Amino acid sequence: MSADEVFQALSDPTRREVFALVAQGRARTATELAAALPVSRQAIAKHLAVLEDARLVDGERDGRALRFRATPEPLSDAIAWMAEVGGAWDERLGRLRAAVSDRDPR
């Protein structure tokens, strides 16, 4: 799973809310998630499909119900990318800070 797929799946605010709810603990059905959000069950099902394609959630059959649980492992590639970019910016800002303080006549 690539970081691109994770970022794309989480680019929608409703999908982020759905993922956050699913990640809170017990597995939930689309109906339970729709009851917690101002979104129809059909819309929740579509959001869950995108999250499932990105492997951020996994659906498990429980009788007739399909319960979704978070599978946060794909987040590791996205987190690693953000840490790399953040580290590069920290380094650049440190060099800028040093250059500015070298020029400060105080």
Residue 87: which CATH number?
1.10.10.10
Number of domains comprising the chain: 1
Dihedral angle of Cα 96, 101, 102, 103, to the nearest 10 degrees: 90
**Does 14 or 87 have the greater pLDDT score?**
14
What's the domain range around 20? 3-103
Report which of residues 38 and 2 the model is more confident about. 38
pLDDT over 80 (residue 105) = no
Q: How far apart are CA 34 and CA 32, in angstroms?
A: 5
Instruction: For residue range 1-22, list pLDDT tens digits in order.
Output: 588 899 999 999 999 999 999 9
Q: How many other β-carbons are positioned within 10 Å of the β-carbon of residue 30?
A: 23
pLDDT band at 97 (very low <50, low <70, confident <90, very high): confident
C-beta of residue 57 within 8 angstroms of C-beta of residue 48: yes
> pTM value?
0.77
pLDDT at 25: 84
